[in-house]
């Protein structure tokens, strides 16, 4: 039997230990054999110095091992010929065998390697007497080759998804709107399977699915089944194939079913036993109804046309991203359904939309500081270029971050929140069997005019039929906010603040965050270049989340009862 004893660790300093060995079943009074040894840690590398008995030449043996970032165990033979002895006192030849002897105390020794030591064993490869420089060059070449493989596969993935434009493929043209209003808003819009078939996709879906299948096979062949970065890219390939299947099913029941697989359903619970998204929509609506009608919370008049909004938003983004570089462009567009939409390095403003300054502030935060910034950060990735493009699973993270940023930047407001809750409620109604006309009346009841009601309902049924299953992408806003908020709250509770800014390093997915931390440590992913102030300095956010973690334990029902006489 054996055990090691010694003083507590002192980071960055050698630690002296004593090993005791006692034969199994020996008398307790028998004195155990003892041996002293010293260990020191430098980064991922550990060194051990142990005294040798006289029959082995006396002195000390020095060896080391390393657990690399690739989870590879490497053992090192620290050859004396490659030690720069520096100021070691009392150097002399050893009693026998290669090496040197020194009378210096360990605390005064400084073992410096002119080059990394030669591995004598590795779980993946074996060094066979190569010089230190050759071994170092070999390791660098292996790392360069590994990174090049990842970059090549990543670039193929980015290239393959380029023609897939989901929102363009599912939107209804203006002829559908004109037909609906021509019928007095009393007939379902004329959209069926034939409508979508007359608007073919901009790519061959069969060939595109085969392309993603081929990329997925090559990822496994070249990176292995359990490579963390390979697992992310394989999942993306699967998601894109599912997206193509959904677009092939436009105008059929399968479209809505696949949409639920990709973006979720309003009936989904956040966690076991928790409320659903539909419950959240109803609860928020009730809270908003309590503050509705207050004069001090009314929206300012929308007096800014698209041209004025473009100018104001461009000036604000220039201050964030740098106007001289022309990093982010803002311009008008006729071809979008929403008031605004973000691209890789631009934001489009719908030409006939009207805004107020609060709207422009929300666009700056939502579209600029999140959607555009994460795209630019993804495009800055030297190896994992796939982070510049996001499959549906990243939509939840993106929209959740955007809504959270609106809140913590004080850019949100009740009517904005009501718009999101109404979209969630409308999707739930469609899941329960409501058709286009039913939900059109719902939006009318919420105070929207006919044009805005039509725009909101068409978001629910785009890609589907006006009496079919909904397109559930708009659930990503509230669902993403809750999931991102909980993630940040838990990161603060567990002291893992370094995880939080990585949400902005590209089009990320929550389930990949631990893996992304590993990829940053390996040098495969670089931290985000563009980061909102609230995430660049985490002091305020951390303090908020500390309070939030405590408030979660309080009973709102008990608080309401206790405050009944004072509120």
Neighbours of 66 (CB within 10 A): 20
User: Quick one: pLDDT at residue 26?
Assistant: 56
Rounded Cα distance between 58 and 525, Å, is: 48
Choice between 10 and 33, residue whose per-residue pLDDT is larger: 33
Report the share of the chain in percent with pLDDT over 70. 78
User: Quick one: pLDDT at residue 335?
Assistant: 73
User: Quick one: pLDDT at residue 224?
Assistant: 93
Band of pLDDT at residue 161, cut at 50, 70 and 90: very high
User: Quick one: pLDDT at residue 43?
Assistant: 62
Band of pLDDT at residue 546, cut at 50, 70 and 90: very high
Whether the predicted pLDDT of 308 surpasses 90: yes
User: Quick one: pLDDT at residue 112?
Assistant: 36
Give the pairing of strands 329-333 and 346-350. Answer: parallel
Largest interatomic CA distance in the chain: 105
Give the phi and the psi of residue 269 in degrees, each rounded to 5.
-85, 150
Give the end-to-end CA distance of the chain in Å, rounded to a whole number: 70
Whether the predicted pLDDT of 257 surpasses 80: yes
Q: Are 401 and 504 in contact (CB under 8 A)?
A: yes
Give the count of alpha carbons within 13 A of 11, CB side only: 2
Rounded Cα distance between 175 and 185, Å, is: 14
Task: Calculate mean pLDDT across residues 124-128.
Answer: 38
Taking alpha carbons only, the member of 422, 445, 418 closest to residue 290 is 418
Rounded Cα distance between 412 and 477, Å, is: 13
Report the share of the chain in percent with pLDDT over 90. 64
How confident is the prediction for the chain on average, in pLDDT? Answer: 84
Band of pLDDT at residue 528, cut at 50, 70 and 90: very high
Rounded Cα distance between 154 and 100, Å, is: 50
User: Quick one: pLDDT at residue 295?
Assistant: 73
The C-alpha angle 123, 126, 129, rounded to 5 degrees, equals: 155
**Of the listed ranges 197-206, 344-353, 421-430, the one predicted with least confidence:** 344-353
Rounded Cα distance between 156 and 223, Å, is: 15
Rounded Cα distance between 274 and 183, Å, is: 43
Give the pairing of strands 340-342 and 329-333. Answer: unpaired
3-state secondary structure string across 359-427? HHHHHHHHHHHHHHHHHHHHHCCCCCHHHHCCCHHHHHHHHHHHHHHHHHCCCCCHHHHHHHHHHHHHH
Whether the predicted pLDDT of 421 surpasses 60: yes
Choice between 155 and 129, residue whose per-residue pLDDT is larger: 155
Neighbours of 560 (CB within 10 A): 10
**Of the listed ranges 99-103, 249-253, 306-310, 517-521, the one predicted with least confidence:** 99-103
Whether the predicted pLDDT of 6 surpasses 60: no
Band of pLDDT at residue 521, cut at 50, 70 and 90: very high
Annotated domain spans of the chain = 2-129, 145-268+380-553
Band of pLDDT at residue 75, cut at 50, 70 and 90: low
Give the count of alpha carbons within 13 A of 171, CB side only: 13
Question: Which residues on neighbouring strands pair with residue 40, listed in sequence order?
Answer: 47
What's the burial of 504, exposed, middle or buried (CB within 10 Å: 0-12/13-18/19+)? buried
**Of the listed ranges 74-78, 166-170, 253-257, 311-315, the one predicted with least confidence:** 74-78
User: Quick one: pLDDT at residue 378?
Assistant: 96
Whether the predicted pLDDT of 2 surpasses 60: no
Taking alpha carbons only, the member of 468, 492, 472 closest to residue 480 is 472
Band of pLDDT at residue 83, cut at 50, 70 and 90: very low
Say what the alpha-carbon torsion angle 389, 393, 397, 402 is, to the nearest 10 degrees.
Answer: 70
Query: How far is CA 408 from each of CA 226, 342, 424, 452, rounded to the nearest angstrom?
Result: 38, 21, 22, 28
Taking alpha carbons only, the member of 529, 232, 258, 266 closest to residue 377 is 529
Neighbours of 518 (CB within 10 A): 14
Band of pLDDT at residue 193, cut at 50, 70 and 90: very high
User: Quick one: pLDDT at residue 125?
Assistant: 38
pLDDT digits (tens, 9 = 90+) for 371-402: 999 999 999 999 999 999 989 999 999 999 99
Band of pLDDT at residue 27, cut at 50, 70 and 90: low
Q: Are 331 and 313 in contact (CB under 8 A)?
A: no
Band of pLDDT at residue 530, cut at 50, 70 and 90: very high
User: Quick one: pLDDT at residue 59?
Assistant: 62
Task: Calculate mean pLDDT across residues 297-318.
Answer: 91
Question: Which residues on neighbouring strands pair with residue 346, listed in sequence order?
Answer: 329
**Of the listed ranges 73-87, 112-126, 471-485, 515-529, the one predicted with least confidence:** 112-126
Whether the predicted pLDDT of 102 surpasses 90: no
Give the pairing of strands 119-122 and 346-350. Answer: unpaired
Taking alpha carbons only, the member of 343, 481, 508, 329 closest to residue 402 is 481
Rounded Cα distance between 274 and 268, Å, is: 10
3-state secondary structure string across 423-443? HHHHHHHHHCCCCHHHHHHHH
**What is residue 101's DSSP assignment?**
B
């Amino acid at each position: 039997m054996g055990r090691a004893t010694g003083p507590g660790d002192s980071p960055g300093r050698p630690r002296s230990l004593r090993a005791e060995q006692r034969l199994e079943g020996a008398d307790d009074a028998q004195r155990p054999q003892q041996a002293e040894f010293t260990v020191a840690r430098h980064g991922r590398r550990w060194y051990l110095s142990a005294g040798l008995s006289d029959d082995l030449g006396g002195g000390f043996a020095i060896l080391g091992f390393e657990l690399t970032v690739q989870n590879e165990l490497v053992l090192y033979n620290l050859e004396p010929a490659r030690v720069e002895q520096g100021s070691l006192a009392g150097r002399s030849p050893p009693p026998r065998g290669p090496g040197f002897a020194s009378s210096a105390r360990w605390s005064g020794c400084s073992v410096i390697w002119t080059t990394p030591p030669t591995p004598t064993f590795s779980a993946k490869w074996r060094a066979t007497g190569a010089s230190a420089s050759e071994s170092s060059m070999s390791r660098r070449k292996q790392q360069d080759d590994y990174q090049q493989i990842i970059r090549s596969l990543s670039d193929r993935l980015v290239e393959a998804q380029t023609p897939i434009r989901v929102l363009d493929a599912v939107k209804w043209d203006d002829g559908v709107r004109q037909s609906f209003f021509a019928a007095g808003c009393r007939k379902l819009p004329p959209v069926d399977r034939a409508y979508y078939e007359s608007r073919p996709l901009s790519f061959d879906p069969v060939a595109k699915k085969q392309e993603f299948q081929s990329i997925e096979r090559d990822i496994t062949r070249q990176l292995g089944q359990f490579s963390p970065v390979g697992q992310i890219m394989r999942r993306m390939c699967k998601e894109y194939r599912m997206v193509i299947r959904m677009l092939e099913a436009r105008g059929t029941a399968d479209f809505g079913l696949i949409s639920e697989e990709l973006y979720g359903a309003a009936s989904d619970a956040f966690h076991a036993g928790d409320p659903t998204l539909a419950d959240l929509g109803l609860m928020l609506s009730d809270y908003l109804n309590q503050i509705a009608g207050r004069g001090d919370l009314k929206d300012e008049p929308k007096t800014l046309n698209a041209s004025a909004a473009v100018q104001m938003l461009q000036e604000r983004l220039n201050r964030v991203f740098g106007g001289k570089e022309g990093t982010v462009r803002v311009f008008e567009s006729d071809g979008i359904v929403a008031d605004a939409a973000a691209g890789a390095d631009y934001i489009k403003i719908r030409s006939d939309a009207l805004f107020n300054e609060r709207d422009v502030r929300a666009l700056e935060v939502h579209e600029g500081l999140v959607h555009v910034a994460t795209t630019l950060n993804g495009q800055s990735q030297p190896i994992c270029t796939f982070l510049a493009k996001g499959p549906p699973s990243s939509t939840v993270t993106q929209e959740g971050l955007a809504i959270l940023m609106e809140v913590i930047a004080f850019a949100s407001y009740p009517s904005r929140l009501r718009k999101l809750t109404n979209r969630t409620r409308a999707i739930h109604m469609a899941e329960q069997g409501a058709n286009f006309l039913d939900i059109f009346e719902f939006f009318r009841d919420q105070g929207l005019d006919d044009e805005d009601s039509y725009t909101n309902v068409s978001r629910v049924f785009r890609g589907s039929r006006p009496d079919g299953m909904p397109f559930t992408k708009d659930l990503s806003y509230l669902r993403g906010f809750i999931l991102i908020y909980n993630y940040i709250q838990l990161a603060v509770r567990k002291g893992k603040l370094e995880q939080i800014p990585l949400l902005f390093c590209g089009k990320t997915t929550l389930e990949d965050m631990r893996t992304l931390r590993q990829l940053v440590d390996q040098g495969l992913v670089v931290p985000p270049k563009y980061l909102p102030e609230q995430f660049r300095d985490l002091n305020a956010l951390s303090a908020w989340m500390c309070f939030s973690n405590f408030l979660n334990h309080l009973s709102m029902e008990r608080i309401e009862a206790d405050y009944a006489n004072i509120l």
